[in-house]
Chains A and B, each alone.
Chain A
Amino acid sequence: MPTETPTLTKKDFQSDQEVRWCPGCGDYAILSAVQSVMPELGIPKERLVVISGIGCSSRFPYYMDTFGFHTIHGRAPAIATGLKTSRPDLEVWVVTGDGDALSIGGNHLIHVLRRNVNVKILLFNNRIYGLTKGQYSPTSEVGKRTKSTPVGSIDNPFDPVSVALGAGATMVARSVDIFQKHLKETLRRVAEHQGSAFVEILQNCNIFNDGAFSYLTDKENREVEGLYLEHGKPLVFGPPGAERGIRLDAKAMRFEIVSLGNGIGPEDCVVWDESRPDPSLAFMLAQCHRPEFPTALGVLRKVDAPTYDAGVIAQIAQQQERMGTGSLEELLYSGETWQVAADGSITR
């Protein structure tokens, strides 16, 4: 039997459906990055399933020429769990948004992560409800003025990567729609992860929340505001000549920003270890917010742990080893039975 899989191209992953996001929407860039990375993964496209919930981002499966399931609001992680658990041979990717994953579907998100189901979750965070035309979302900043909060929102926002870390996700990362190189590299790392992989992708909604991330994405800000994590490398950021780093203030148990030079070098900064079993440092970093701190991008955490789906399959196999694969006779005729003979006599 030929074992070679035909080489696929980006085009093979583009469906015949017209893409219907607003012109200029950040979703286009993400779609393009995903479609470019997929052919590199060597997965036959019939084995790839994209599952989404409801929202602008959740139209994603229609544009991928793979198996796809556009489900209901917030429930994509649960549907993905059922699919992956019964079909571990498939590659299951979930596409969701800040409202879908963190509001109506918050429960399913934390549970898919704590179970470590081997699915990849891309959360497009535009900090707004787009499809319902502009209400504030669970990631909108306090004071956000929208149609539903004309005098500003009152509730505190979620930080998606903190939620994922808190739920025990084995892989947590952050990237940006238009940082194509960074995004593609992050997606490659996600694809190789065995277990739940969660990526927050900062995404611009140019209609209802334009420029939400321009503090980071504007050309002049990218180096100043972005902390590009690399495993085994010190936490250093900023343009050449004005580099700064992140140091652990062990006494205060907090991170602090230091300017490099004057006797302070990269060796004084925290060396990033994404594989630390204890997620505390990753959480501390996730809690480092602007304006004091840069935004951490890349992989915050990536650890190996048994996956839920493999565990389920193993238990079934183990029981079958112990008890055989069972026949219907055995099933029905188990327990206390007795025989009634034609003459009415009874035997046990």
Chain B
Amino acid sequence: MTTETATKPSGSVTSHQALTEVVIRFAGDSGDGMQITGTQFTTTSALLGNDLSTLPDFPAEIRAPAGTLPGVSAFQVRIADHDIHTPGDAPDVLVAMNPAALEVNLRDLKANGVVILNTDEFTARNFKKAGLETDPREDGKLEGYRVFEVELTTVTRRALEDSPLDVRGKDRCKNFFALGMCYWLFSRPLQPTIDWLEKKFAKKPDIAAANITCLQAGWNYCDITGLFQVRYEVESAALPAGTYRNINGNLALAMGLVAGTRKSGVPLFLGSYPITPASDLLHHLSAMKHYGVTTFQAEDEIAAVCAAIGASFGGALGMCSTSGPGLALKSEAINLALMTELPLVILNVQRAGPSTGMPTKTEQSDLLQAMFGRNGESPLPVIAPSSPADCFWAGIEACRVAVESMVPVILLSDGYLANGAEPWKLPDIADLPDFPVEFHSDPEGFQPYQRREDTLARPWAIPGTAGLEHRIGGLEKQDGSGNVSYDPENHQRMTDLRAEKIARIARRIEPLAVDGDERGKLLVLGWGSTEGAIMGAVLAARAEGLTVSRAQLRWINPFPANLGEVLANFDQVLVPEMNGGQLALLLRAGFLKNVTSYPKVEGKPFYRHEILTKIKQCLEVADAN
């Protein structure tokens, strides 16, 4: 953005300026409606054809004490006229609804960035609540930024003089006043939000009307006062032709699971216990009952997975949605599904741990838990989607592998993917893979643990099929008959078979694709949700003339068959991950390759510039950043 010096309304003529991209962060109290404001800005921008990426950041407490630092809720959105993959490193614009929101978010703002403040909240009392000793507008903190002060509460109340709402109700509309201002500043239309408000508050027309009034008043305020002097435009991105919608990872995953079960022909049964940030999976699927989806809100995490296992035994595809602490509670039951070789899909939307950790913050630190967090020799397939929209595809793939190999599959999403949104070009339904399940029905020579050659899967023989009566359980099984067995050689054989069954999945998954040269000095290898940041950093490095390749692992267990070869083709492999270096550990152990681990556990996704700096370190180039 260019430099503007105006800090007070001047009424002067506005100029227009085109930007290739902009990052805006809305920050306020958790009761200020910042998530809604951000989502509306996002939807409107999507309809203008911008590419975009969002990052909500909200406190774990539903309503932390108002005005305090822990109560600050924020929503960052990056809009661009070109293809982007992350919500951006630092905001260009910060809307701060109170001193606490300013205090928490100012440090991230770009130099010379725009700050829009609701000065009505800048009172001695609120400074105290935010732990500030002085007024940040006067103590030099805001030097180097372009500050726009608006008495947001006052102007909102004034705009709503004729509204029947009470003062509290009126004050709640001030986020739409701020949104109207941002729409003016970034030349966005009001209509999509007006439509949304009318639909959302169809039964409460007073609220709809008040919010619409404020939205328009915010726009008019900028237009009349000439507060900003300059207006920005971000052109639409050249997206491939097709039908689009905005999607976040949790919704995309829910849709993928419905698609996966439809394509397998078995019904979906979700057992779940509410847990942040996975609860939306339960919410979404509970609203999809008409697709034949059964959801069961269990008494605890263990019951949730057990009910799913019971459903799978009966011929549904059992699933459970959870986060790290819940996965820990489910481990014994997951092993039961592994031992009884029943299909199961376990969705872990990872959050910052250990223990309760930071429930609303993102992390990838359950990788080793997914790999090894169970008693005994217990290998399981582990898949990790790399973007919100990719959650759809990974959901389908998890279903496919679960039913094809008769095995529990762990899908590792995370808080960043779950809540982050991006435009998604909707697939042609005809392109989705089919993998119809055939239940075993022939009693002739039936053996519960007789395996298919290709997948080593045992037959899915469901209750209700005459002649197939049999017993399964968690005790070691005799190969073939499935009877309880304590035979030493049989235990070795069954352990090997269970491992080989997982290894063979590698035959049916995509090989690892390298973006850039197939061999060279440096490969940046990520897994899961880090793809956007890695891609951004690699593109930036290439723009500076560096030669860097990158690849993103989707299957962690089994690894793609060509992974060893890919690793061997590079002098250095940089592995950024939002944990203490868990994939790096697996790579070193599995391939004796001394990869360069780049761990980060701040509860925040990687910034592009962080990875770029590491790339330069690896290549021993000076970093000008």
Q: Is B265 an interface residue (CB 8 A)?
A: no
Instruction: Find residues 298-348 in chain A having any chain B CB closer than 8 Å to their own CB.
Output: 312, 315-316, 319-320, 322-329, 331-333, 335-342, 344, 346, 348
Instruction: Find residues 223-242 in chain B having any chain A CB closer than 8 Å to their own CB.
Output: 236, 238-242
Asked if A339 meets B306 with Cβ closer than 8 Å, knowing A71-B336, A319-B290, A346-B49, the reply is no
Which of B241, B291, B315, B333 is in CB contact (< 8 Å) with A342? B241
Provide the residues of chain A in CB contact with B308, threshold 8 Å. Answer: 82
Which of A68, A87, A322, A327 is in CB contact (< 8 Å) with B472? A68
Q: Is A85 an interface residue (CB 8 A)?
A: yes
The residue in A78, A81, A315, A337 that gathers the most chain B C-beta atoms within 10 A of its C-beta is A78
Q: Is B245 an interface residue (CB 8 A)?
A: yes
Are A335 and B245 in contact, with the CB atoms below 8 A? Answer: yes
CB distance from B395 to the nearest CB of A (A): 12
Instruction: Find residues 90-135 in chain A having any chain B CB closer than 8 Å to their own CB.
Output: 90, 107-108, 111
A83 CA / B240 CA spacing, docked (Å): 45
Closest 7 CB pairs of A and B: A70-B473, A82-B310, A82-B307, A78-B306, A68-B471, A83-B310, A78-B303
Q: Is A214 an interface residue (CB 8 A)?
A: no
Provide the residues of chain B in CB contact with A108, threshold 8 Å. Answer: 299, 302-303, 306
Q: Is B47 an interface residue (CB 8 A)?
A: yes
A sample of 13 cross-chain residue pairs with beta-carbon separation below 8 angstroms, ordered by A number, consists of A44-B466, A46-B466, A46-B469, A47-B463, A69-B472, A69-B473, A108-B302, A111-B299, A325-B290, A326-B288, A331-B259, A340-B240, A348-B47
Q: Is B553 an interface residue (CB 8 A)?
A: no
Q: Is B332 an interface residue (CB 8 A)?
A: yes
Q: Which residue of chain A has the shortest Cβ distance to B320 in the bound complex?
A: A82
Instruction: Find residues 203-235 in chain A having any chain B CB closer than 8 Å to their own CB.
Output: none
Provide the residues of chain B in CB contact with A79, threshold 8 Å. Answer: 306-307, 309-310, 313
Q: Which residue of chain B has the shortest Cβ distance to A337 in the bound complex?
A: B245
Provide the residues of chain A in CB contact with B464, threshold 8 Å. Answer: 46-47, 87, 89-90
Asked if A81 meets B310 with Cβ closer than 8 Å, knowing A111-B303, A335-B245, A336-B245, the reply is yes
List chain A positions with a Cβ less than 8 A from chain B. 15, 17, 44-47, 49, 51, 61-62, 64-72, 75, 78-87, 89-90, 107-108, 111, 312, 315-316, 319-320, 322-329, 331-333, 335-342, 344, 346, 348
The residue in A47, A82, A89, A107 that gathers the most chain B C-beta atoms within 10 A of its C-beta is A82
Are A66 and B245 in contact, with the CB atoms below 8 A? Answer: no
Instruction: Find residues 284-304 in chain B having any chain A CB closer than 8 Å to their own CB.
Output: 288-294, 296, 298-300, 302-303
Are A87 and B483 in contact, with the CB atoms below 8 A? Answer: no
A90 CA / B311 CA spacing, docked (Å): 12
Are A340 and B426 in contact, with the CB atoms below 8 A? Answer: no
CB distance from A315 to the nearest CB of B (A): 6
Which of A322, A327, A338 is in CB contact (< 8 Å) with B46? A338
CB distance from A76 to the nearest CB of B (A): 8
CB distance from B143 to the nearest CB of A (A): 41
Are B466 and A328 in contact, with the CB atoms below 8 A? Answer: no
Provide the residues of chain A in CB contact with B432, threshold 8 Å. Answer: 328
Provide the residues of chain B in CB contact with A46, threshold 8 Å. Answer: 463-469
Are A90 and B244 in contact, with the CB atoms below 8 A? Answer: no
A96 CA / B549 CA spacing, docked (Å): 58
Which of A69, A332, A344 is in CB contact (< 8 Å) with B429? A332
A331 CA / B260 CA spacing, docked (Å): 13
Q: Is B493 an interface residue (CB 8 A)?
A: no
Asked if A332 meets B255 with Cβ closer than 8 Å, knowing A70-B473, A320-B290, the reply is yes
Which of B292, B303, B427 is in CB contact (< 8 Å) with A325? B292
The residue in A15, A46, A51 that gathers the most chain B C-beta atoms within 10 A of its C-beta is A46
Q: Which residue of chain A has the shortest Cβ distance to B240 in the bound complex?
A: A340
- Per-residue CB proximity of B318-346 to A under 8 Å, as 1/0? 10000000000000110010001000000
List chain B positions with a Cβ less than 8 A from chain A. 43, 46-49, 192, 236, 238-246, 255, 258-259, 262, 267, 269, 271, 288-294, 296, 298-300, 302-303, 306-316, 318, 332-333, 336, 340, 426-427, 429, 432, 463-475, 483-484
Are A49 and B296 in contact, with the CB atoms below 8 A? Answer: no
Q: Which residue of chain B has the shortest Cβ distance to A84 in the bound complex?
A: B310
Are B47 and A61 in contact, with the CB atoms below 8 A? Answer: no
A75 CA / B465 CA spacing, docked (Å): 25
Are A339 and B243 in contact, with the CB atoms below 8 A? Answer: yes
Are B426 and A337 in contact, with the CB atoms below 8 A? Answer: yes
DSSP class of B's interface residues: helix, strand, loop or mixed?
mixed
CB distance from A62 to the nearest CB of B (A): 5
A85 CA / B307 CA spacing, docked (Å): 9
A272 CA / B143 CA spacing, docked (Å): 84
Provide the residues of chain B in CB contact with A89, threshold 8 Å. Answer: 464
Asked if A338 meets B303 with Cβ closer than 8 Å, knowing A46-B468, A320-B290, A332-B429, the reply is no
A323 CA / B426 CA spacing, docked (Å): 22
Provide the residues of chain A in CB contact with B242, threshold 8 Å. Answer: 339-340
Are B246 and A340 in contact, with the CB atoms below 8 A? Answer: no
CB distance from B559 to the nearest CB of A (A): 30
Are A81 and B427 in contact, with the CB atoms below 8 A? Answer: no
Asked if A323 meets B471 with Cβ closer than 8 Å, knowing A78-B306, A86-B316, A346-B49, the reply is no
A44 CA / B340 CA spacing, docked (Å): 24
Provide the residues of chain A in CB contact with B474, threshold 8 Å. Answer: 70-72
Asked if A326 meets B291 with Cβ closer than 8 Å, knowing A75-B303, A338-B244, the reply is yes
Provide the residues of chain A in CB contact with B299, threshold 8 Å. Answer: 78, 107-108, 111
Q: Which residue of chain A has the shortest Cβ distance to B241 in the bound complex?
A: A342
Which of A86, A325, A338 is in CB contact (< 8 Å) with B314? A86
Provide the residues of chain B in CB contact with A340, threshold 8 Å. Answer: 49, 239-242, 244
A66 CA / B464 CA spacing, docked (Å): 10
Are A83 and B313 in contact, with the CB atoms below 8 A? Answer: yes
Provide the residues of chain A in CB contact with B243, threshold 8 Å. Answer: 333, 337-339
Which of B258, B313, B316, B332 is in CB contact (< 8 Å) with A331? B258
Provide the residues of chain B in CB contact with A341, threshold 8 Å. Answer: 241
Provide the residues of chain A in CB contact with B307, threshold 8 Å. Answer: 78-79, 81-82, 85
Which of B294, B468, B473 is in CB contact (< 8 Å) with A71? B473
Provide the residues of chain B in CB contact with A67, threshold 8 Å. Answer: 463, 468-471
Provide the residues of chain A in CB contact with B303, threshold 8 Å. Answer: 75, 78, 81, 107-108, 111
Asked if A69 meets B316 with Cβ closer than 8 Å, knowing A46-B464, A79-B306, A108-B299, the reply is no
Provide the residues of chain B in CB contact with A322, threshold 8 Å. Answer: 290
A67 CA / B294 CA spacing, docked (Å): 23
A47 CA / B309 CA spacing, docked (Å): 18
Q: A17-B471, A78-B306, A316-B293 are in contact. List 8 more A-B contacts (CB 8 A).
A: A64-B471, A67-B468, A86-B311, A87-B315, A90-B463, A327-B429, A336-B246, A340-B49
CB distance from A31 to the nearest CB of B (A): 14
Are B269 and A325 in contact, with the CB atoms below 8 A? Answer: no
Asked if A346 meets B47 with Cβ closer than 8 Å, knowing A316-B289, A336-B245, the reply is yes
A61 CA / B475 CA spacing, docked (Å): 13
Are A75 and B240 in contact, with the CB atoms below 8 A? Answer: no
CB distance from B339 to the nearest CB of A (A): 10
A64 CA / B244 CA spacing, docked (Å): 55
Provide the residues of chain A in CB contact with B313, threshold 8 Å. Answer: 49, 69, 79, 82-83
Q: Which residue of chain B has the shortest Cβ distance to A325 in the bound complex?
A: B290
A30 CA / B472 CA spacing, docked (Å): 21
Provide the residues of chain A in CB contact with B463, threshold 8 Å. Answer: 46-47, 49, 67, 83, 87, 90
Provide the residues of chain A in CB contact with B311, threshold 8 Å. Answer: 82-83, 85-87
Are B292 and A78 in contact, with the CB atoms below 8 A? Answer: no
A193 CA / B417 CA spacing, docked (Å): 47
Q: Which residue of chain B has the shortest Cβ distance to A321 in the bound complex?
A: B290
Are B244 and A337 in contact, with the CB atoms below 8 A? Answer: yes
Provide the residues of chain B in CB contact with A344, threshold 8 Å. Answer: 49, 236, 238-239
CB distance from A34 to the nearest CB of B (A): 15
Q: Which residue of chain B has the shortest Cβ distance to A71 in the bound complex?
A: B336
Provide the residues of chain A in CB contact with B46, threshold 8 Å. Answer: 336, 338
Q: Which residue of chain B has the shortest Cβ distance to A63 in the bound complex?
A: B471
CB distance from A219 to the nearest CB of B (A): 37
A69 CA / B49 CA spacing, docked (Å): 54
A31 CA / B244 CA spacing, docked (Å): 61
